[in-house]
Structure 1
Amino acid sequence: MGTDRDSEVTGQRFDVADAVPLLLDAHGTVTSWTRDAERLLGHPAAAVLGRHAGALLVPEDAARVTALAEDHRAGGGGWTGVLRARHRGGWSVPLMVRAVPLWGSWPAGRERGRGPRHAGAHHWVVLLSDMAGAPGWDMSRSVLESMVARSPVGMAIVDTELRFVWANAALEVFGGGPAHERIGRRLAEVQPGLDAERLEAQMRQVLRTGEPVVDHEHVGLLRSAPHRETAHTMSFTRLDDDAGRPLGVYYTVMDVSERHRARMRLALLDRAGEQIGRTLDVARTAQELADVAVSGLADFVAVDLLDSVLRGAEPGPVRGADAVPMRRAGQRSVHEGAPEAVAGVGAPAAYLPGTPPVRTLAEGVPWCRFRIGPLDREWSDTRPGGRQATFRELGLHSVMIVPIRARGITLGITTFFRSGRPEPFDEEDLDLAEELVARAAVCVDNARRYTRERNAALVLQRSLLPRSLPEQDAADVAACYRPADELAGVGGDWYDVIPLPGARVALVVGEVEGHGIDGAAAMGRLRTAVRTLADLDLPPEEVLAHLDDLVAQSARQAGTGPDAGSEQTVGARCLYVVHDPVSGACAMAAAGHRAPALVSPDDGSVRFADELPIGPPLGVNGPPFESLTLELPPGTVLALHTDGLLAESSPALLGRALERPSGTCLDTRAQRVVDTLVPARPGDDVVLLLARTRRLAPGRVADWELPPDPALVAQARRTATGQLAAWGLDELAFTTELVVSELVTNAIRHATGPVRLRLILDRTLICEVFDGGATAPHLRHPRTTDEGGRGLFLISQFTQRWGTRFLPEGKVIWAEQALTGVEG
């Protein structure tokens, strides 16, 4: 008679003790009205009796009752449902209604129960129950007992002493024996090993406060599942008597182990995403994998990588019948020490052909023994000394070996062991291990690829930097270079020491934007350009001006589009310093670079050449470059450095680090300064170039001023020869006379103003002739019939090298002779 929805709401049985009875005739007219009905709906009996019952209902439900009565007029069972009545006060009252028909007598000659009923019911008995404040019908005890008996949720009641007084059958699946065996016992007695103290503390809190505890999660081992950790959610509610005194605690238990394990797996994968691959170091990434997997998945984890992977090289094919060179890249144990297995991180992992690790590496599929039996002699690992150890000897009862594969390449293996926890691995653990290793494999391969590129860039950069500093007497020089860490990549910082004519030396530091191979290549181009310009013996500001033009021209040729190539020399910075040991003059110019620090030879105090005009970076079209010339006393230490040295420090800290006794070895001093100011893995390349200036002794330099008279050329030759005799260089007299004669004659014949002749005894014998002319002589290759033009040709043949240096007041033509076999 009723709808399915109403049946679901009202249930199957209810007690009639509290229900309000009504009596209706066959047409639905109210024939009996009680005081309980008046109390429920507010209508007095006089206003209701004789009226149709539908008048008491809201219009929609009155229509439903009329339709239902028509359906049941021919006979049928009762009806149960929910109807809304109209209260005398004007509001609607939701009622639970059950209507039961009362039939008339049976025809004569028919036994009761065998003959047909009369055409319809004579009366209806209707039971009403107020739904306000109630979720449904008041259930009978038998219904309630059936509900708790069949419920899949474990239920129990303990008294105020926390002893069991009742439990349903579902609680048995959580261990502790049948329900009747629990009566009178405490939780710790029925579940030994369970953290009963913590659970009973929750019950005492509920007894004390009356506040229920909902969804308290407990994780541990139960008697029903001693080899697997289980998780349960428990809710506790206090039971009170009519006077409000606590009778005990009612609690429910639900097994949420699968949900708990799924949550723990997701948490482990989230932790792996956060902690694995934080660097681009292969070994560190492998160690991060081991750290994450312990103890969330395994008790001991070992990560072994191919030697080629650790070097950043491309791994070759692996065959299961071959011994594979591998190395332990990371391992972690829940205990303080790893199992008695192979040596520690960094040691070779020598796996024999055909063993599970090698097969896993060759086939690229996992290998596992979820439960190792007493006869399982599969080889596990290598102890120190090369002896093979079985799983049982290592105290292991479950193992998984998962290949580390990324982009179709096998990089190594990860082995997961369990020894302490009793439960073995299962298929879900294997799936989790494969997911974990797959995520880490991408990070390992990224680190391998970066290692390969970084090593290539580092090799390229070191090949472009000076392999050794050239020998010269203008200054004692030491350099310290520290490349950037793996995240920043090798940068484009460089330094150089370039011997110049006249016993001088050029000191250079610079840096280009960018990192990696592109940065190293850009650095190489600039360093080559600087050395080429230094050979022209130009002043520092002119060197930077020509270098600026070269960078700007290269940028214009490269274009600005995304496919035009990487032109990283624009914005490069450079500091160029020239020290003259004869005069003590130090000329310098800067293109967007910091000024050098100067350490006094007297008291070791440090100051910076802040008066140096800092020009714009190279290639950015700024104002012209300017130079600064200082006269430095011998023993002054110049500290040229790139920005990476002060990335985490200040100039004041650099000054304090440079304050060292003047006798300290420069190499040690440079290393100490870098170690003080720079971490082991800096974020940017670091270059520190230290130079302690020298002065040539006055006795090693001789100069004369000559009138522009051709007749004095012979006198100049004699003067030079006499100086050579004083230095003990008689063997160089013939060549020196030739050089002096030719250079002085050209200066008198083609130039204007005074002529100066200077001889410098350094590592070579240097002959210099100064004049006021602005044109340089050119080397000619005369024919056999020419009568002149052979002077410079002969000089080029008899000397080591020669050239021209321009000064603001004129030029200097110089020539150098080797002192081989001559004591100077």
Structure 2
Amino acid sequence: MSAGELLGPLHVTRAAAVVLDAGGVVIGWSPSAERLLGYPPEEVLGRPAATLVARKAGTQPAPWMHTVGDPGSIRSAALNLRHRDGRILRMATTMCAVAHGPDGPAVVLLAADLEELRSWEAHQAMLRGLVTQSPVWLTIYDPELRVVWANAVVDREMGGPLTPYVGRTVDELFPQGRILTEHHPPTLAGTMLQVLEDGVPVIDLHYLGRVPVAPEYERVWSCSYYRLLDARGEPIGVCEEAVDITERHRAEQRLALLVRAGSTIGTSLDVVRTATELVEVVVPRFADAVTVDLLPEVLEGMEPADQGGPRQGLLRVCGGRGAQHTARPAGGTSVAAGEPVEYAFASPQARCLASGRSIVENAPGTPAGHSGTGVHARLFVPLKARGTVMGLVTFLRSRTAVPFDADEHELADELAARTAVCIDNARRYAREYAAAVTLQRSLLPQRLPPQSAVEAAYRYLPADRQVGVGGDWFDVIPLSGTRVGLVVGDVVGHGLRAAATMGRLRTTVRALAQLDLDPDELLTRLAGVAGRGDRDSPDDGVGAEDDEIIGVTCLYAVYDPISRRCSWCSAGHPMPAVVDPATGRVCIAELPSGPPLGLGGATYENAEVELAPGSVLALFTNGLVDSRTGGAGVGLHRLVQVLAQHRLPLEKLCDRAMAVLPVGPVNDDAALLLVRTRVLDARQVACWTLPADPSVVAHARTVAAAQLDEWGLPELAFTTELVVSELVTNAIRYASGPVRLRLIRDRALLCEVSDSGHTSPHLRHAAGDEEGGRGLFLVAQTTQRWGTRYTSDGKTIWAEQSLSQAASPQHAAA
């Protein structure tokens, strides 16, 4: 804008100037008039000025010359003047009488385009508004970035005339201010210097600071900067425009806080962690400190009672920094996390808990220059879900005296409501998780019975509570003939359904194992049970979609301490590890792996291996060897390194094996079963092969009784002779080929008779007039238990007697 434009269209230096005598005749004509109306001086000088005025035909010129007044008076009017080319120009005029002659006053007339004048006047009005009325801060800084001028709103906001601040830099005006917008110099002085140097304006830079008149309140401005140039185009300073956007900024902050709360609070199904997440979200963005108090039953996963009065006996769960400034109980001492807290009956906390509504306590306004220490505002909000109050959240401010306004009050209610829902979900999950863990642990072996075949130890580590209980299980099952069944399995999935499925399958395995089935046949039958069970189980709501059972893996092994043979079979399960007792070499067993149970079309194949006495077998689930960083290979390598220390006691070896699990939450259950094989002493086993001749029955009774005398068990001779007689007689009668008699002295006395037949004997209740059919009935009545197991070349019928009535070990040795 030029200097002439600043003076206005009617200024004498810009307007068309015309001098008229007392009769209205043009006696003076300026170059500006010639440019505006197109007449050269020679065409208008001496002419009546009225001829330049456009009027309708038949009308007389208005007597406007005669209304000017005394010399020095000014009159303005809008006239239609005719241009030399015939155009009609709407002009703004100002007339001033300058002197009185004999014929009247002489007049100076100034004329300018009416629209240009109106535009200039609007521009001037705008400038006056910016200076005196605009809410936008306007501040001008010189090339040294010192204040030289500001509009009226700056004066008001700074608490008075700007005079004391003239000559100061912006950083001196706001010593604690900081720029919030990224990718800008760290100070306003640096920003303005950049604008002064390159001339590129900066728009909408957010700046946080405090004005001297109210230093306790933080305010946010949206600032824009542009360079000022003089008439020669040289920079003379920087203009700052600033708009107070404190409320908008706080609204954006509240919205951002809600968004962050939505993604942060409730990430874990843990009550304490959820409360901690609330504190992490709001401190220090919303409050300087926060405490969370909960009812003890909420922490225990129980349903809180809906009491009408004030809730007492709360527990302090957590608190942010500065929480010592919160309203304390009557004792006046601060409460640490985990300690009980009680509030006086009339306290705002008690009223908040009783009413279920939030209560705000804002301290009176803090005078200017206050240091900001102490508590200036408290907001008590109940944690309420499904209509029941579970606890209390206390927000407080101590660094600033800004009170909690209505919007922040509403925000605190929303944050507490979200947190309460998450805490309630975590509480209910904790209850279900505890029930599931109790169910799961009740379905797992509580202790392993002592076995002659193996020494065993085990460990079980459930998954993290966020994942839920799983379906890993293990078992050691006593079998006939001093053999032992070893089981480890994994139900894929988590939750109550996985635990229930695990319990069902473990029970089924134990039942099938008592039939003395080979591992492959047992897994085949178990696969049918697993698949049929999933289809037949009712939809009782226990199995949510994420708890769906999608398969079961299982490994079953049978170890015979007499033959030292181990037969095993796998249904999609990780292969066991075997440690050679002599060399300490650890190898992963190679055996055919069938599909997981329950997927249909299952075929399984046995593998058999002879184990040296003292061999260590490690049966485990994939949760033990899966590594979060390197997969199953890394975890298996770590387990092998531990098993190489096989001479350690099994319990210590179990501890070291579980220590290889990564630190932190576990995503899957981990089960480990370690066994060290034993061999039954040859002196504890007696075996005879008898021809299929009825005459050998008496001989069988004789050698059996003689063996019991050698073992010091004469008290069992009568029953044993009866059992041997009946079993050998049945074998000779219903089978072909030689008969094999074996006595085993272990924790019980076992009598086994093997033949080549595959027909299963049945227990009968013979009638009084029948001569036979009472043999197995007598065996069942005189022994603890009996049964049949089948082999590839026939069957074995066995019977077991307790040693409780036999001679003591000392007597037997004698």
Compute the TM-score of the two structures, normalised by the length of structure 2. 0.81
Task: Indicate which of 229, 237, 249 corresponds to 1:240.
Answer: 229
2:470 aligned residue (453, 472, 491): 491
CA distance in 2, matches of 1:232, 1:568: 55
Aligned counterparts, 1:376-455, within 5 A: 395-455=374-434
Distance in 2 separating the partners of 1:167 and 1:243: 24
Task: Tell me what 1:148 maps to.
Answer: 131
Q: Which residue type is aligned with residue 412 of structure 1?
A: G
Paired residues of 1:20 and 1:36 also in contact (CA < 8 A): yes
**2:583 aligned to 603, 607, 614, which one?**
603
Look up the equivalent residue of 1:327 and give its one-letter code: L
Q: Distance in 2 between matches of 1:17 and 1:539?
A: 121
Show the counterpart of 1:59.
none
Name the amino acid aligned to 1:150: Q
Contact map agreement 1:756 1:770 (CA 8 A) in 2? yes
* Pick aligned residue for 1:710 from 685, 691, 694: 694
Cα 1:781–1:357, aligned 2, differ >3 Å: closer, same or farther? farther
- From 760, 763, 776, the counterpart of 1:779: 763
Q: Deviations over 1:301-344 (max 9, x none)?
A: 111222222222211123435633x3222222159999995443
1:204 counterpart = 2:184: no
Matched, 1:729 2:713: yes
Query: Deviations 1:537-571 (Å, cap 9, x if unpaired)?
Result: 11011111111222344455469999999996663
Residue 750 of structure 2 corresponds to residue 766 of structure 1: yes
Distance 1:285 1:565 in 2: 23
TM-superposed deviation, 1:248: 2.8
Query: How far 1:220 moved relative to its partner?
Result: 2.5
Conserved 8 A contact 1:320-1:354: no
Name the CA shift for 1:579/1:721 in 2 (closer, same or farther; >3 Å).
same
The root-mean-square deviation of aligned C-alpha atoms, in Å, is: 4.2
Partner of 1:391: none
Of residues 587-596 and 328-337 in structure 1, the stretch that sits farther from structure 2 once superposed is 328-337
**Is the 2:575–2:589 Cα contact (8 Å) retained in structure 1?**
yes
Partner of 2:808: 823
Q: Residue 354 of structure 1: CA displacement? A: 5.2
Paired residue for 1:333? 321
Residues 40-76 of structure 1 show CA distances to partners (whole Å, capped at 9, x for unaligned) of 99x9999x99xxxxxxxxxxxxxxxx9x999x99999
Paired with 1:96 and 1:190, the residues of 2 have a C-alpha distance of 57
Q: Is the 8 A contact 2:9 2:116 kept in 1?
A: no
Aligned counterpart, 2:279: 290
1:589 aligns with 2:572: no
Give 2:678's match in structure 1, choosing from 678, 682, 694: 694
Deviation per residue, 1:5-42 (Å, 9 max, x gap):
xxxxx99985556867699xxxxxxxx9998799899x
Conserved 8 A contact 2:16-2:36 = no
Check conservation: 2:626, 2:635, Cα contact below 8 A. Answer: no
Map 1:78-157 → 2, pairs under 5 A: 99-100=91-92, 127=113, 137=120, 144-157=127-140
Higher mean displacement: 202-211 or 801-810: 202-211
C-alpha distance in 1, partners of 2:6/2:502?
A: 86
Distance 2:258 2:723 in 1: 80
> Aligned to 1:803, which of 774, 787, 798?
787
Q: CA deviation at 1:260?
A: 1.4
**Which range is displaced more, 806-815 or 462-471?**
462-471
Q: Counterparts of 2:114 and 2:549 in 1: how far apart (Å)?
A: 93
Distance 1:484 1:705 in 2: 54
The equivalent residue for 2:71 is: none
CA deviation profile, 1:174-199 (whole Å, cap 9, x unmatched): 22531334334455666676579933
Equivalence for 1:524: 503
TM-superposition CA deviations, 1:203-232 (whole Å, max 9, x none): 333334443333332213222222221112
Matched, 1:347 2:339: yes
Aligned residues: 734
Q: Return the alpha-carbon distance in structure 1 between the equivalents of residues 11 and 442 of structure 2.
A: 100
Residue type of the alignment partner of 1:721: A
Aligned counterpart, 2:288: 299
- Looking at structure 2, the residues matched to 497 and 269 of structure 1 have their Cα atoms a distance apart, in angstroms, of 54
| CA 1:417–1:337: 2 relative to 1, 3 Å | closer
Inter-partner Cα distance in structure 1 for 2:56 and 2:716: 141
1:175 corresponds to which of 132, 143, 158: 158
In 1, Cα distance between equivalents of 2:447 and 2:795: 32
Give the corresponding residue for 1:281.
Answer: 270
* Residue in structure 2 matched with residue 313 of structure 1 by the alignment: 302
> 2:692 is paired with a residue of what secondary structure?
coil
In structure 2, do the counterparts of structure 1 residues 675 and 98 end up closer, same or farther at CA, with 3 Å as the change threshold? farther
Matched, 1:751 2:739: no
Partners of 1:21 and 1:304 in 2: how far apart? Answer: 83
Distance 1:776 1:143 in 2: 113
CA distance in 2, matches of 1:296, 1:564: 41
Q: Secondary structure at 1:296's aligned position in 2?
A: coil
Return the alpha-carbon distance in structure 2 between the equivalents of residues 535 and 80 of structure 1: 122
Give the match for residue 559 of structure 2. Answer: 579
Q: In the aligned structure 2, how far is the partner of 1:454 from the partner of 1:11?
A: 81
Cα 1:752–1:190 change in 2 (3 A) is: closer
C-alpha displacement at 1:672, in angstroms? 2.4
CA distance in 2, matches of 1:527, 1:40: 109
Partner of 1:676: 660
Give 5+ residue unaligned stretches, structure 1. Answer: 1-9, 24-31, 50-65, 88-94, 104-111, 113-122, 375-393
Q: Which amino acid aligns with 1:741?
A: S
Q: Per the alignment, do residues 372 and 630 of structure 1 end up closer, same or farther by CA in structure 2, a change over 3 Å counting?
A: farther
1:738 partnered with 2:738? no
**Aligned residues of 1:475 and 1:691 also touching (Cα < 8 A):** yes
CA separation of 1:534 and 1:366: change in aligned 2, threshold 3 A: same
Do the aligned partners of 2:174 and 2:210 also contact (CA within 8 Å) in 1? no
Q: Provide Cα deviations, 1:632-658, integer angstroms capped at 9, x if missing partner.
A: 112222221222223323245424423
User: 2:369 maps to which residue?
Assistant: none
Aligned-pair identity in percent equals 45
Matches within 5 A, 1:533-682: 533-555=512-534, 557=536, 571-610=551-590, 612-648=591-627, 649-651=631-633, 653-657=635-639, 658-682=642-666
Whether the aligned pair in 1 keeps the contact of 2:77 and 2:94 (CA below 8 Å) is no
Name the amino acid aligned to 1:503: T
- Kindly provide the amino acid, as one letter, of the partner of residue 297 in structure 1: F
CA contact (8 A) 2:16 2:111 kept: yes
Structure 2: how far apart are the matches of 1:313 and 1:689?
A: 35
Corresponding letter in the other structure for 1:348: P
Provide the secondary structure at the position in 1 that maps to 2:160: coil
Q: 1:184 to 1:655 in 2, by over 3 A?
A: closer
**2:485 pairs with 1:506:** yes
| DSSP-derived class of the 2:320 partner | strand
Give me the whole-angstrom Cα distance separating, in 1, the residues matched to 2:273 and 2:56: 82
Deviation at 1:488, TM superposition (A): 2.3
Letter in 1 for 2:235: P
SS of residue matched to 2:555 = strand
Please say which of residues 766-775 and 621-630 is displaced more in the overlay. Answer: 621-630
Deviation at 1:265, TM superposition (A): 1.2
Could you tell me how far apart the structure 2 residues matched to 1:464 and 1:534 are? 17
CA contact (8 A) 1:766 1:817 kept: yes
Contact 2:635 2:660 in 1 (8 A): no
Q: Is 2:624–2:635's contact at 8 Å kept on the other side of the alignment?
A: no
Tell me the residue number matched to 1:29. Answer: none
CA offsets, 1:676-712, max 9 Å, x none? Answer: 1344422122222222211111111111111112222
Give the Cα separation in 1 of the matches to 2:30 and 2:156.
51
Deviation at 1:738, TM superposition (A): 1.6
Q: Distance in 2 between matches of 1:699 and 1:45?
A: 148
Compared with structure 1, are the counterparts of its residues 173 and 731 closer, same or farther at alpha carbon in structure 2 (3 Å cutoff)? farther
